[in-house]
Amino acid sequence: MIIATNVSKKFGKLKALDDVSVSCNKGECIALIGPNGSGKTTLIKTILGMVVCDSGFISFNGNNIQHHWQYRENIGYMPQIGRYPDNMSIGQVLNMMKDIRGKKDMQLDEDLVNRFGLKDMQGKRMRTLSGGTRQKVSAALAFLFNPDVLILDEPTAGLDPVASEILKEKIIAEKNKGKLVLITSHILSELDGLISQVIYMQDGKLCFHKNIADLREDTGEEKLSRAIASVMLAK
C-alpha cells in the first residue's frame, strides 16, 4: 500500500533519511520507533507529502505520490501537537474540516467524537482546552473521514488513562477492518498488544522491520522494549 524505495533526504549537512526502503501493507498496525533524530518524523512527513525526498520515491497504492497528490484524501493524520485557531470552538473546527474535506455522500466516522464527549463541548474555544482535550480533537479528526491509512504521531501523549484505552480500542478496530495504521511512540509499553510490526530507525537509516511474533521468537523476549534492545545490542 505504502512503499518507500531508496528514499534519502538531507537538511544542509544532516542526512535525515539515508537510503530507506520499507513496505507497509493493509491490515497492519506498525510502530515506527527510534531515538530522537532517527528520521521517524521526516519519513512520516515524506509520506504525507510535506517533505520532498532528494532521491528515491514513495508510492501509494502503486502510484508515485509526487504525481498523484489526491492520495492524501485517504490518509488520516494525528500530529503530535495539534495547532488550531485559538478563537474557534471545537464545533467550528470540526465543521471547518468537514467543509474542507467532506463530500455530501461521505460516511463520517464520529465514534471518537461521541466517545470522547466532544459533542458536549462543542462550544468551548480551542484556547481554553487542556492538552489532553486538544489531543482528543486531533484523534477525532484523524478518524473522522474514514481513511484507508492512519498516521498517528505519539497518539496517547497527554491523554488520560480512559481516553487512552478508548483510542487503543479504536486503533485495533480499524486495523481489523483492513486499514493500515502507522504509529510513532516513545512509550513502548503503550504499543504492547496493539501493533503487528516494528520499524526501527536510527541516524536516518532503517535498522530493522520485523513482525512482532518474529521479533519475540528471535530474541526470546516477550516484552517489546526488551526485544528491541536485544536486537540493537546484537548489531
Mapping DSSP onto H, E and C, the string for the chain reads CEEEEEEEEEECCEEEEEEEEEEECCCCEEEEECCCCCCHHHHHHHHCCCCCCCEEEEEECCEECCCCHHHHHHEEEECCCCCCCCCCEHHHHHHHHHHHHCCCCCCCCCHHHHHCCHHHHCCCEHHHCCHHHHHHHHHHHHHHCCCCEEEEECCCCCCCHHHHHHHHHHHHHHHHCCCEEEEECCCHHHCCCCCCEEEEEECCEEEEEEEHHHHHHHHCCCCHHHHHHHHHHHC
Distance CA 135, CA 141 (A): 10
Residue with cell 518474529: 214
Strand 55-60 with 63-64, pairing: antiparallel
C-alpha of 139 from chain center: 10
Which residues, in sequence order, are CB contacts of 95 under 8 Å at separation 6+?
none
Whole-number pLDDT of residue 189 = 79
Q: Per the structure, how many domains does the chain have?
A: 1
Whole-number pLDDT of residue 101 = 80
Which residues, in sequence order, are CB contacts of 110 under 8 Å at separation 6+?
140, 144
> Domain of 103?
2-234
- Give the CATH number for residue 89: 3.40.50.300
Please give the chain's pLDDT, 235 residues, in tens.
Answer: 899 999 999 999 999 999 999 999 999 999 999 988 899 999 999 999 999 999 999 999 999 998 888 899 999 999 988 999 999 999 999 999 988 886 666 789 999 999 999 999 999 999 999 999 999 999 999 999 999 999 999 999 999 999 999 999 999 999 999 999 999 987 787 888 899 999 999 999 999 999 999 999 989 988 888 888 888 777 6
Model pTM score: 0.94
User: Of 147, 171, 112, which Cα lies nearest the Cα of 2?
Assistant: 147
Whole-number pLDDT of residue 6 = 97
Distance CA 151, CA 125 (A): 26
Dihedral Cα 198, 203, 207, 210, nearest 10 deg: 10
Strand 29-33 with 197-202, pairing: parallel
